[in-house]
Structure 1
């Protein structure tokens, strides 16, 4: 099977997907209400989409094509509001966060859709352990070679994305000591990790042909890479974000991606190379484990510095491009919290320290998602 051709898209346009938790309002454990939610959501004519995910206590919402982070927020807001209304009718709640803090994976049921059933047959218990919740950000690229260049430039900023979005400190009732434990579940899949460092689409097509020849891969969907090309959309898709606790943060993260992309395209600040990836897994681990307190190793110089400091420095570099694309507010939101060492993982831990009950933490997170002060 050959790789589909790369469709043109408007450069720097955005699309955002959010995987969300459905919980009951009795003990705030996950609840198998995806089908009921989808049925109710059909009555709401909205831009974007709402679809099932791997297990039946999850749903995924997505925007249509957006040109700014404020447009992302403008599309996510009515979807969020319709979700909340539908959940209220079912006496359940919708929650952000990269993991549910105390659900037991063996209690999950695979959603009845052919692809999910096939994945369950292939991956066994990993499929149920994939009841984790991420944000995916698509960014438009003018052509296939530009997409690969954008992908490998973005790879240097994977730790920044992880630390800023981290919201999965708890797994099966325990504090994992990770800010993003969610990504540990993704590592288990054989085709996770990062894309091969090629900068020409013809080279990527050769790689894809070799992989399909082995019979291991049938389409781009079979790669669970941190960032992957999406030729049918004319985008690259960044997949390392935990789902934030609020749609405002989700939109701000999209604004950060767009501002970086604008900087790359306007200034061509560096050419990616294979050696960039020498420190890739170390930086990724640091961000997952320590969040804002991580150490970042600069791939170009080998210098070690606090990741938080590199985030601030990066935001200074791209501030002008953020202003041009209406993302200054997005960067301000992320920057002020990064400066304070705050992210959603810290918020969840602070709530748990106060409440000593993860069900109450989930209840407060559900209020936070719907925009109600806790």
Structure 2
């Protein structure tokens, strides 16, 4: 179970607030989730424990984590003090993981969903945390064979972190549209650009777009309510697409699909960190950021799930409908000054096609799912 099983939740909340208040701005940690695949068939295989055993005694061991099912593994950059070092760290971690799994006859899948694997064939890993999730969620958690990209960004000040989290809700659809990589699932072309988001955020409780909170006290009242009503027994059971992380003084962005392409993973990290930094700067300077209503953000979320970077998004401030690429290009312009300050500028870009668009185009040309997926397995960055 989580730390809160060893300490009362009131102590957990007090210590979390202290960590935020004494934290540091714009530190970064990136977490990437990968499918473990049999090298020839590209089928998902329950080999997590084998990978961990192979990592014992190696530097990469501390960067590995289990993530629900035994056919999945997460690798973490760990806390990086400045964004300048993040792109190289992402590449290094990917190389370490590829080197670890190759001798085991495995390769790594990094799209938001596996094109044909059945959830019925996947095994929940045997840890107290995931056994508890299995007990609570049952079918909901069994179906969640999805793979994401998470970015933790340090924000100093508990009240400030809550305000940044609330403001970040507005741009979750843009981040999803840019990162969409999962058009295929359960052996079909789903017609979506992010089947992962539909599976995860529409299935799990306390998931997707959170409410806006005005202060730490406002947020803490809600978390206390959940504990006191026995709705949760771990703080990680708030599975929102953006959340303040109580174990770290970070705002965690969780909306993005996994990225098969290293360069696009690095670019996505750059945008996530730059956006958090730009929002924090706006709040510091008194620049107004409207908390858009949940129902309107959800309109854009559906557009991002269904059409991704190929579709349109609504400028909720002006009621204007724009191509998703244009919305994201405007976002890049808005974050540009702060991106320059933190060393992220050179990494910000919108690709001609993102991972979902490339897969959909190849499917339309007649390529099969195995052929398309096979070209997306993660390879060492030194030869990518």
- TM-score norm. by structure 1 comes to 0.92
Paired residue for 1:16? 30
Describe the superposition over 1:83-108 as per-residue Cα deviations: whole angstroms up to 9, x where unpaired. 21222211111121100111011111
Paired residue for 2:296? 279
* Selected match of 1:38 from 52, 74, 94: 52
Cα distance change of structure 1 residues 285 and 368 upon mapping to structure 2, 3 Å threshold: farther
Q: Secondary structure at the match of 1:366?
A: coil
Is residue 344 from structure 1 mapped to residue 358 from structure 2 by the alignment? no
Q: CA RMSD for the aligned pairs? A: 1.9
| Kept in 2: contact 1:297–1:305 (CA 8 A) | yes
- Greater shift in the superposed pair: 159-168 or 37-46: 37-46
Paired residue for 2:344? 327
- CA distance in 2: counterparts of 1:122 and 1:278, whole angstroms: 28
* Selected match of 1:92 from 73, 93, 106: 106
- CA distance in 2: counterparts of 1:48 and 1:152, whole angstroms: 32
Is residue 201 from structure 1 mapped to residue 232 from structure 2 by the alignment? no
Aligned length: 366
- CA distance in 1: counterparts of 2:240 and 2:279, whole angstroms: 21
1:185-196 residue pairs with structure 2 within 5 A? 185-186=199-200, 187-196=202-211
Q: Secondary structure at the match of 1:84?
A: helix
Describe the superposition over 1:300-319 as per-residue Cα deviations: whole angstroms up to 9, x where unpaired. 23222222211111111221
Paired residue for 2:288? 270
Is residue 316 from structure 1 mapped to residue 330 from structure 2 by the alignment? no
1:302-313 residue pairs with structure 2 within 5 A? 302-313=319-330
* Selected match of 1:28 from 12, 31, 42: 42
* Selected match of 1:298 from 299, 310, 315: 315
Paired residue for 1:362? 373
Q: Secondary structure at the match of 1:297?
A: strand
- CA distance in 2: counterparts of 1:265 and 1:121, whole angstroms: 38
- CA distance in 2: counterparts of 1:60 and 1:252, whole angstroms: 19
Paired residue for 1:226? 241
- CA distance in 2: counterparts of 1:266 and 1:170, whole angstroms: 39
Q: Secondary structure at the match of 2:165?
A: helix
- CA distance in 2: counterparts of 1:126 and 1:278, whole angstroms: 24
Describe the superposition over 1:100-143 as per-residue Cα deviations: whole angstroms up to 9, x where unpaired. 11101111111111221221122222222111100111111111
Paired residue for 2:87? 73
| Kept in 2: contact 1:17–1:63 (CA 8 A) | yes
- CA distance in 2: counterparts of 1:47 and 1:107, whole angstroms: 26
Q: Which runs of no fewer than 5 residues in structure 1 stay unpaired? A: none
Q: Secondary structure at the match of 2:280?
A: helix
- CA distance in 2: counterparts of 1:165 and 1:371, whole angstroms: 23
Q: Secondary structure at the match of 1:279?
A: helix
Paired residue for 2:122? 108
* Selected match of 2:185 from 158, 171, 174: 171
1:230-249 residue pairs with structure 2 within 5 A? 230-249=245-264
Q: Secondary structure at the match of 1:11?
A: coil
Paired residue for 2:265? 250
Q: Which runs of no fewer than 5 residues in structure 2 stay unpaired? A: 1-8
- CA distance in 2: counterparts of 1:41 and 1:78, whole angstroms: 15
- CA distance in 2: counterparts of 1:325 and 1:171, whole angstroms: 38
Cα distance change of structure 1 residues 370 and 263 upon mapping to structure 2, 3 Å threshold: closer
Using the TM superposition, give the Cα deviation of residue 46 of structure 1 relative to its aligned residue in structure 2, in angstroms. Answer: 3.8
- CA distance in 1: counterparts of 2:159 and 2:219, whole angstroms: 9
Using the TM superposition, give the Cα deviation of residue 368 of structure 1 relative to its aligned residue in structure 2, in angstroms. Answer: 4.9
| Kept in 2: contact 1:165–1:343 (CA 8 A) | yes
Q: Which runs of 4+ in 1 moved over 3 A?
A: 67-70, 350-355, 367-373
- CA distance in 2: counterparts of 1:310 and 1:48, whole angstroms: 38
Q: Secondary structure at the match of 1:237?
A: strand
| Kept in 1: contact 2:180–2:309 (CA 8 A) | no
Paired residue for 2:231? 216
Cα distance change of structure 1 residues 231 and 84 upon mapping to structure 2, 3 Å threshold: same
Is residue 55 from structure 1 mapped to residue 105 from structure 2 by the alignment? no
